[in-house]
Amino acid sequence: MATFDKLLKANVLVRVTFRLPRGQFHERKIYAYPGCLEWMRNEIPKMVTGRVASDFTPKEQLIERLRQWMSGDPMAYGRMFRDMEPKIDEVWEIKTADLRIFGWMYRPREFIAVRAGYADDYKEPTKIKNYADERREVVKARDTLPLDGDKYTEGNFDELV
Amino acid sequence: MNSFELEIDEKSYVASMFMARVANEIRRAAAIEKASRKITQQEIANKIGTSRAVVNREMQGLENLGARRIAELLWALGWEPYFEARKIPAGVNDGPPLLSQPVIMPPELKTSQGTLSLKSPVYVSHSST
């Protein structure tokens, strides 16, 4: 078992940061598993918008949503951030038009991203993934994470975000 | 590697952030009007002569709205746009853009516990001027 700092030093988790605009400060944090980080770094830049035909590229969507998260800007429950069913699992999802990021709240305002995917992959007729699998993978990752103390924080949107 | 900084080219960052800000402002206005006089997307669509689906996409922030459409949407809500261009102060053009516009979206936001009450926008001041 290890402290959270040790897991960061061992790169089991990586803090994701972003240079916020002048006048904004890091009010919330996001950490990612290496696989999820690789997806952000290498896969998203190659993506194009899907059936929603957004005028934002997926990378722009990610950056803007993370800017909102990190800067402490309001997040709209449902459209931007939501807890997955069943809520007892305490798995949360960050959403953009084309992207889905699944993880859990380690502490209020601290999100750990485990899995991620392209929104159209979860929708018929191009469905190749499903939300239940992602939720299970998040729970499995959390259960097996060798972290001392409480691994996650329970609470509703207003308390955690 | 204890942390990783995501990067995006400045041009794309500035553009996407401004687009998102415009959409957020329209949603904020719409939420306030919805809360105060129950205005619907269908009513907005009727006023500007388009479909509810189009208004919904625009409100979601999926579209790069033109100046005309921004004005039309806000007019339909009984609001008006306010825009001001400003020269970036010398020496501070090497970082992400300064924010000095309202950054708080409405309090409309549905939460898992219901709907939040209305609050005033919060303004972020110039920190580097």
pLDDT at B104: 42
Most B CBs within 10 Å: which of A14, A38, A52, A56, as the mutation test of the B interface? A56
Residue A120: burial class (beta carbons within 10 Å; 0-12, 13-18, 19+): middle
Q: How would you class A136 by CB atoms within 10 Å of its CB: exposed for 0-12, middle for 13-18, buried for 19 or more?
A: middle
Percent above pLDDT 70 for chain B: 69
Cβ count near B53 (within 10 Å): 10
Query: Is a pLDDT exceeding 50 seen at residue A65?
Result: yes
Minimal CA separation from A53 to chain B, in Å: 7
Per-residue model confidence as pLDDT tens digits over B21-72:
899 899 999 999 999 999 999 999 999 999 999 999 998 888 889 999 999 9
Residue A18 banded pLDDT, cuts 50, 70, 90: confident
In degrees, to the nearest 5, what angle opens at C-alpha B124 toward C-alphas B116 and B59? Answer: 50
Residues from chain A contacting residue B13 (CB–CB below 8 Å)? 60, 63
φ, ψ for residue A99, nearest 5 deg: -125, 150
Tokens of A23: 């006048």
Q: Over the stretch A78-92, which tens digit does the pLDDT of each residue have?
A: 989 999 999 999 999
pLDDT at B102 over 80: no
CB A29 within 8 A of CB A109: yes
Nearest to B28 by CA among B107, B122, B115: B107
